Amino acid sequence: MTKEEMYPLGRDETESRRLNEQHKLLLDIVGGAIDKAVPLDNISTVADVATGTGIWLWDAQKQLNENAGQSERQFHGFDISAAQFPPAPAGITFSVHDIFQPFPAEHLNRYDLVHVRLLVTAFPESEFQKAVENLLTILKPGGYLQWSEVDFAHVEAGSDDHPKGTAGVQPWMKFVEVTKISKCAPDTLYTAYNNAGLLNVANRSYPIRGRADLVDRAQEWERQFFSTMIPVILLKIGDAADKDEADEKGSKIKLDLEEYFADGGVVDVRFGTVIGQKPN
């Protein structure tokens, strides 16, 4: 199974809208585009790897302008596909690049901050180390690598308190097993950072369950996530023979999830941000 085959989501306009809404929710969950450990005054060059629609770059630019003053900064987004690249304003550029391939010479040792997020479904757990080591080549000495990921380690236990709570969780966890993706990507990253020799490594966990201020938005994110993923996953894990069967089974799962949400449930998906500094 190739990395592109593993990736279960599309790259069309509908998926771009979902990603942008997901981005807004994630910023509220983790408290902003740039982690609090990063000294904003020292950031003049920023890279976003697996940038998708590029929306993180806009918010990072805004955060820096508002908190570190208006100055000349460079922002660059990399992605394996240009399908979701937007028109770029001054100071933001984009290019196509695979996170596992050597970066062009002009990007080596260039960035004060390299940001990555939500690649857990794109490749197996065993490949995180390789990705981290390749990203370090574009990071300046003393620069920061910030990577936010999803933690699925609690979803099974956290959803068994309601008869419909495991509806979407069970096929998803089977997908995790079949594709060998990381069950807890933040912990996998924490180990990879330390193995790569990064300094001041921190792993911050951000649950969404129990956040009363986010219940409605968290449910909507999970609704869109599972609605998008479930039919594709059922096919990938062999629980459906064809698209029609996947859609039929997926519709039943969606109804069960709606009952779970109506009773106030939130699937216990967590996010984690891992931050580390490249030695000088």
Residue partners of 126: CB distance under 8 A and separation at least 6: 180
Give the percent of the chain with pLDDT over 90. 76
- What is d(CA 130, CA 122) in angstroms, rounded to the nearest whole number? 14
What's residue 112's pLDDT? 99
Share of the chain residues as helix, strand and coil, in percent rounded to the nearest 5: 45, 20, 35
What's residue 1's pLDDT? 39
- What is d(CA 127, CA 264) in angstroms, rounded to the nearest whole number? 37
Q: Which residue has the tokens 């003053």?
A: 69
- What is the pTM assigned to this prediction? 0.91
Q: Which long-range contacts (CB under 8 A, 24 or more apart) does 216-221 make?
A: 217/25, 217/28, 218/25, 218/266, 219/261, 219/265, 219/266, 220/21, 221/21, 221/22, 221/25
Burial 23-54 (b: 16+ CB within 10 A, else e): bebbeebbeebbbeebebeebebbbbbbbbbb
The string of pLDDT tens digits covering residues 145-154 is: 999 999 999 8
The string of pLDDT tens digits covering residues 31-80 is: 999 999 999 999 999 999 999 999 999 999 999 999 998 888 999 999 99
Reduce the DSSP state of residue 92 to 3 states and report it. Answer: strand
Average pLDDT over residues 233-255: 95
What's residue 5's pLDDT? 44
The string of pLDDT tens digits covering residues 117-147 is: 999 999 999 999 999 999 999 999 999 999 9
**Is the pLDDT at 7 greater than 60, yes or no?**
no
Structural tokens at position 70: 């208006």
Closest C-alpha to 43, from 132, 137, 140, 129: 140
- Report H helices in 31-127: 55-68
The string of pLDDT tens digits covering residues 166-201 is: 888 899 999 999 999 999 999 999 999 999 999 999
Average pLDDT over residues 232-255: 95
What's residue 216's pLDDT? 94
Q: Which domains does the chain have, with CATH numbers?
A: 30-278 (3.40.50.150)
Whether the Cβ atoms of residue 149 and residue 119 lie closer than 8 Å to each other: yes
157, with CB counted inside 10 A (0-12, 13-18, 19+), is: exposed
Structural tokens at position 219: 């449910």
Reduce the DSSP state of residue 109 to 3 states and report it. Answer: coil
**Confidence category of residue 6, pLDDT binned at 50, 70, 90:** low
